[in-house]
Amino acid sequence: MSNASSPPGVNSQPFQVASPSSVPGDHVPMAKPSISEDPTLGDEIITLYVGKKRKKFTVHKKLLCDRCEFFSKAFSGNFQEAEKGEMHLPEDNSTTVASLVDYLYRGSLPKPSVDGDYSKALRLYWLADKICMTTLMDKCLDAIRRNAATFNIHPGPGLIKQIYSKTSSDSMIRKYYAGIVSCGIARWGKEGTRVDEFIELHANCPDFLLDVFRWQLDHGIDVAEALRKNRLIPLHEVVELFGPCEFHSHGEVETCYLKAGK
Ligand SMILES: [Zn+2]
């Protein structure tokens, strides 16, 4: 199966994350031994068929199920997936699943493109949301925030619409972008022509304006205070006023990955 991604020791193939040729350099070379060489992972292998072209991925069952409750439930009990040891994910993107496999084995996130485009991390966030991998969601969102600060990227209405079409009403990434735009409005003021672009979202993305309004109620005074102290404060630092967990999805009783050191 030359088209498959397999961990070392499985079918005698080296571990390669499936990645379409259209995105060369998507993943950094492995600099140290992979976790997949860990004998405690056992020899049970799960096969995932992803996308309409059924891209094949093979992953250690223990790794997949220990890290992800979605797969743990699917591959236990009387489900067809458990019987066959395989699952079909026709709606998912093979590049994004490759990023997931890479994360599971190496703990790494996809890299942004040279121009700062980081849609790979955004798509991985959506996949993590779908399969309930909270820590991965938090890591992706933090990486998106850092990348936006590095490249000085501000979201436009198109991105907002896309995010709201892919997420549920309690999604923290919605809150993040509502916060970013709220801070932007505070900085743009009456001279900010960009405000009009976002107001137009009321027609097909009304939840966004509602979230911006909520954000202003919760944090508007804090942001205004910060802006008064330093009007040149970078937008993303304004957002960071509220602490590293402000946009994390982990619950209050769960340990944040930043504190766990993972
Ligand atoms: Zn946290």
- Domains of the chain (ranges; CATH) run 1-106 (3.30.710), 109-262 (no CATH)
Output 33 or 68, whichever has higher pLDDT.
68
pLDDT band at residue 50 using 50, 70 and 90 as cut-offs: very high
Ligand 1 centroid distance, CA of 255 (Å):
7
| Segment among 2-6, 56-60, 79-83, 195-199 with least mean pLDDT | 2-6
Which residues share a beta bridge with 59? 46
Each residue of 56-85: pLDDT tens digit? 999 999 999 999 999 999 888 777 887 789
Ligand 1 centroid distance, CA of 239 (Å):
15
pLDDT surpassing 50 at residue 24: no
pLDDT surpassing 60 at residue 28: no
Q: Residue 163: what pLDDT?
A: 94
Secondary structure class of 234 (helix, strand, coil): coil
Give the DSSP H or E segment for 60.
Answer: strand 55-60
Ligand 1 centroid distance, CA of 216 (Å):
22
Residue type, position 47, single letter: T
Ligand 1 centroid distance, CA of 46 (Å):
31
Q: Residue 262: what pLDDT?
A: 63
Ligand 1 centroid distance, CA of 35 (Å):
25
The answer to whether the beta carbons of residues 71 and 50 sit under 8 Å apart is no
Ligand 1 centroid distance, CA of 245 (Å):
4
Ligand 1 centroid distance, CA of 200 (Å):
33
The answer to whether the beta carbons of residues 68 and 131 sit under 8 Å apart is yes
Each residue of 134-175: pLDDT tens digit? 999 999 999 998 898 888 888 889 999 999 999 989 999 999
Ligand 1 centroid distance, CA of 244 (Å):
6
pLDDT average, residue stretch 35-52: 84
Q: How high does pLDDT run on average in the chain? A: 81
Place of tokens 């019987």: 83
The answer to whether the beta carbons of residues 55 and 3 sit under 8 Å apart is yes
Ligand 1 centroid distance, CA of 251 (Å):
9
pLDDT surpassing 50 at residue 27: no
Query: Which residue blocks in the chain are alpha helix, DSSP H?
Result: 61-67, 69-74, 80-84, 94-106, 119-130, 134-151, 157-166, 172-188, 194-199, 206-229, 235-239, 257-260
Q: Residue 83: what pLDDT?
A: 79
Each residue of 165-176: pLDDT tens digit? 999 899 999 999
CA angle 235–238–242, rounded 5-degree value: 145
Cα–Cα distances in angstroms (integers) from residue 178 to residues 173, 182, 220, in the given order: 8, 6, 12
Ligand 1 centroid distance, CA of 80 (Å):
36
User: Parallel, antiparallel, or unpaired for β 45-50 and 86-89?
Assistant: parallel
Q: Residue 82: what pLDDT?
A: 78
Q: Residue 240: what pLDDT?
A: 66
| Segment among 77-81, 115-119, 165-169, 245-249 with least mean pLDDT | 77-81
Q: Residue 112: what pLDDT?
A: 93
Ligand 1 centroid distance, CA of 173 (Å):
13
Per-residue burial over 73-112, b = 16 or more CB atoms within 10 Å of its CB, e = otherwise: ebbeeeeebbeeebbebeebbbbbbbbbbbbbbbeebbbb
Q: Residue 216: what pLDDT?
A: 87
Each residue of 215-244: pLDDT tens digit? 889 888 877 777 777 655 555 666 667 788
Secondary structure class of 25 (helix, strand, coil): coil
Q: Residue 244: what pLDDT?
A: 84
